Structure 1
Amino acid sequence: MLLVTGITGHTGRYLLRELINNKYDGPIRCIVRETTDTSILDDCGLNIEKVIGDLNDPSFINGVMVGVETVMHIYNIHHSPLIVQAAIKNEVKRAILVHTTSIFSQYKKASDGYKNIEKKIIELTDNPKCPTNITILRPTMIYGDLCDRNMSKFIKMVDKLRFMPIINGGNSLIQPVNARDLGKAFFNVLMSRDETAGKYYNLSGEKPIKMIDAFTIISTELNKKTIFISVPLGLGVFIAKILKALTIGKIDYIEKVQRMGENRHYSHDKATSDFGYNPMTFEKGIQLEVKEYIKSNRNTSK
C-alpha cells in the first residue's frame, strides 16, 4: 500500500499524472480534506482509496498508516515529524518526504524551522532497529502553472506594471523547478527504492538563472516592453519594515525582500546520477505557464 498526502495539490497532481501514465497498479491511499475536489482521483483509473482526515491529528495519522508499506508525504513539511513517528510505530518500510531548499537560506526565519524539522527526523530514525527508511526531496522555487505561488505572481506583475522594481538589479541567481519535473522525480524516487534509500536530494531547475533574465524572458513571452528599476536591498528592506509597521505586522515582506537578494541555486547532480533526474529549461517551462496565463485572461475577459 502506498500512502500519499497532497496528491490533489500543485505538485501532487503531477505525481498523479505520472502514476497514471506509467500504469501504477498498486493500491494507493490518499489523504484528502472534506472540502477537497477529488474528481481527478475518481476519474484516474487507479486503485485509489480516499481517506478524509486532518494531518494535525496524531491519532488519525497513526490509524491511516496501518497496512502501508511506503508513504509519500508531499503536503506541508511541518507535518513530517508526525508522519515519520506514525510510520515508525506502524513499521512502514519507507517514507519519502518533500521538503525545501529554503533550509539553506542565510535568513533564520526561512531556514531555522526547516532545520529543526529535519533534525527531529534524524533523531527519530537514528536507530539501527528503526523499521522506516527515509528519503528527503528538497525542491527549489516551484513553478509550472497558475497554481504556483512564485512565477505566477511575477507573470502578473510583469503583465500589469510598465515599470517594475527589482532588488539589486536582479543579479541574484535562482534555479526554479517546474512542477512537471517534480512529478516525474517523485515517481522515479518511488520506483528506485534501493538507489535512493537514506538519501537527501536537491531538486532544482536545469541551471541557475539571474532574476533579471527570468523577468526579461517573461516580459518577452508576454510581448511587453517592461522597464526594470534596480532597488538597493537596503532600501527594499527599509520599505518593507515601514509597511509592516503601518499594518501593525499584518503585512510582513521583510524576509521575502531579503531573499530576493540572496542566491538560491543548488546542484541536482546526485538526483541525476541516482534516478535520472533531467529537468526542462526555464525558457520552456515559463513559456508553458505564460501561455496558460494569457489563455486564462482571454477566457476571463469574454
Structure 2
Amino acid sequence: MAERSDKPSTTLAPGQWSFTRWKTIGQLEALEVQHPLFEAAITLQGAHLVHFSHSNEKNWLWLSDLARFQPGRAIRGGIPVCWPWFGDPARNPPAIRAHVKTPSAHGFARTALWQLEDVSESAHEVEISLSLNAGDEFHEVWEGHALALITFHFSLRGCQIALTTTNLAHAPMALSQALHTYLPTPDITRTRLLGLGNSQYIDTLKDWNYATQDGPVYFMGETDRIYESGDVLVATTPERRTKLIGFGSDSTVVWNPGPEKAQRLSDFPDTGWRNMLCVETANAAGDYRVLNIGQSHTLGVLIERG
C-alpha cells in the first residue's frame, strides 16, 4: 500500500481544489492533476487513468496515438478497468457466465460514466475517488447489483489504484476483473518482466494449456497469458524499471498483441506493439472471487519506479 504523509490531507469542494481541475479530453469529461511533484489525468468515463508522471517527465503509461476519447468507446491505453468480468465471457467460470448477457469482453465499467466522490489534496499527495453503482441500468448485459469504488492515490512515490467491489444484490455474486495497465517501452524485444519465474500460467494462444514460466518473461511476438501469481513484478525496458505491487490479486495477465493482431485492433497503430506491454493486476481464471451479500473485495496495484 502507498505510504501516507504525516500531514493530514484536506478535502475540498469543486472549485476549491489547489491542484485538481476539470478538463475536457476529446469528448470526455476528465479530472486533471497538476501538482508541483506530479501530474495525472482521469476520465470519468471508465474511471480511466490516462496519464501519470512526475513533473516534467514522460507519461509512465502507454497511450495509443490513435486513442479516441468518445462516449461509449473504450480508450486504448492507460489503465482500463475491466469489471465485473474480465476477458471473453465464454472463457469465464460458470458462476460468472450465468450472469453475463453479452459476448462483449472485459465488462461494462470501462465505458460507463462514473461519479466523482471525493478529491483530497495536500502538499505531498492527491487522492481522487470515483464510484459506479451498477444495478438496473445494466440489466441488459448483466444480472447483478454492485457498487464499485475506485481510489487513485498520487504521490512522488508513484500511483496507487484500489478498486473495491461491494455486493448489493440479494444473492452471492461472482466476478473476475483486472486493472489493465499499459506500460511503454522503446523496444519490446529488449524488454523483460521479472517476478513470474516458476509460476504456472495459462497460454491462451495455445488452446488455453498450462505451462511453467522459466526465468523472466521475454516478448518475441504475440503474448497472452494468465499467470497464477500475484507477486511483485518489475518491468525492465531500455529506458526504465517499473515496479508493480498488487494486492487482492493472485493472478497476473501479461499481454502484447504482436505484429499480426496489432493490425486488427481498433485505435491501435500497426507498429504499436513494439512500444508497449500490458501487465494486468487481476482476479482472472481460477482466481475469480465470490462475494456474499454485503461483502466487499479490494483489488489494487501500486506502480512505482523499480
Query: TM-score when scaled to structure 2?
Result: 0.28
Q: Which has the higher strand share?
A: 2
Which is greater in Rg?
A: 1
